[in-house]
């Protein structure tokens, strides 16, 4: 009864703080939290923050400043499509994460390129897709790489299994590439993104 009311109020407050963070790009201060959720005393906010810290919604700095934890993540990870969506209560339990931290290891060396050809279509990489490319990663055999071969840029599978290096397309209509003069591997494709609408 009143327990539900308390929980709902707590969730609403977490949502308020998360909204603030996503809109303003920083965590609110204690007094700002108080203004948001309708608490007049900073001490009450202090206790609220203690609770949220235990819930791993946020963390405290060594200097006491707030840093987001579950708040910073924009999506919640569920199971497979076949499993469908769980009940709202169970949704809460699923661990949430940020796409940036999931997909980008070192931001300084990571780029987004647009795909235009069909040469990798059998690997599920279609024209209009975007690939995340890490320039700092060491390319291994089997990786999809962005390479400059004899003056032209392509995206292909890197194959070091035979003698020399071969670039393999993922489309039977395209031919493997044996670099004649030079092969410069600029980066490794670490992820593919397709955005609808």
- On the 0-12 / 13-18 / 19+ scale of CB atoms within 10 A, 194 is exposed
Say which entry of DNA, a second copy, none residue 23 contacts (CB below 5 to 8 A, set by partner kind): none
Give the whole-angstrom CA distance, residue 147 versus residue 52.
47
Give the whole-angstrom CA distance, residue 114 versus residue 189.
12
Provide the mask over 12-51, with x wherever binding to a second copy is found by CB under 8 A and - wherever it is not: ---x--x---x-xxxx------------------------
Smallest distance from a second copy to CB 183, Å: 13
Q: Give catalytic status of residue 156 as yes or no.
A: yes
Smallest distance from a second copy to CB 121, Å: 7
Only one of the segments 1-9, 44-52, 127-135, 166-174 lies at the binding site for a second copy (rule: CB under 8 A); that segment is: 127-135
Q: What's the distance, CA 46 to chain centroid?
A: 31
Give the whole-angstrom CA distance, residue 186 versus residue 133.
9
Footprint of DNA (CB under 7 A): 1-3, 6, 9-10, 29-32, 34, 39-49, 51, 60, 63-66
Question: Could you tell me if 90 and 110 are in contact, meaning their C-beta atoms sit under 8 angstroms apart?
Answer: no
Q: Which residue's CB is nearer to a second copy, number 7 or number 91?
A: 91
Question: Could you tell me if 4 and 12 are in contact, meaning their C-beta atoms sit under 8 angstroms apart?
Answer: no
Name the nearest CA neighbour of 186 among 162, 156, 142, 159: 156
Angle, helices 30-37 vs 42-54, to 10°: value is 100
The single residue of 3, 24, 56, 156 carrying the catalytic annotation is 156
Binding residue (CB under 8 A) for a second copy from 54, 61, 64, 138: 61
Smallest distance from a second copy to CB 42, Å: 16
Say which entry of a second copy, DNA, none residue 40 contacts (CB below 5 to 8 A, set by partner kind): DNA
Q: Which residue's CB is nearer to a second copy, number 50 or number 94?
A: 94
- Does position 117 interact with a second copy (CB under 8 A)? The reply is yes
Q: State phi, psi for 179 to the nearest 5 degrees.
A: -60, 130
Active site residues: 119, 156
């Amino acid at each position: 009864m009143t327990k539900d009311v308390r929980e709902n109020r707590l969730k609403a407050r977490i949502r308020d703080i998360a909204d603030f963070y996503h809109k303003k790009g920083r965590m609110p201060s204690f007094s700002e939290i108080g203004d948001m959720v309708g608490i007049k005393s900073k001490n009450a906010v202090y206790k609220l923050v203690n609770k949220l810290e235990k819930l791993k919604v946020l963390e405290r700095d060594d200097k006491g400043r707030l840093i987001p934890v579950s708040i910073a993540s924009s999506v919640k990870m569920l199971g497979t499509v076949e499993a469908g969506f769980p009940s709202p209560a169970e949704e809460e339990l699923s661990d949430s994460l940020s796409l940036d931290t999931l997909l980008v290891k070192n931001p300084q060396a990571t780029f987004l390129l647009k795909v235009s050809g069909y040469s990798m279509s059998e690997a599920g990489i279609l024209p209009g897709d975007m690939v995340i490319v890490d320039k700092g990663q060491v390319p291994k055999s089997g990786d999809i790489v962005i390479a400059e071969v004899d003056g032209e840029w392509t995206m292909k599978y890197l194959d070091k299994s035979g003698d020399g290096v071969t670039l393999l397309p993922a489309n039977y209509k395209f031919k493997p590439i044996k670099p004649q003069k030079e092969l410069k591997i600029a980066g490794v494709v670490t992820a593919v993104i397709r955005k609808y609408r």
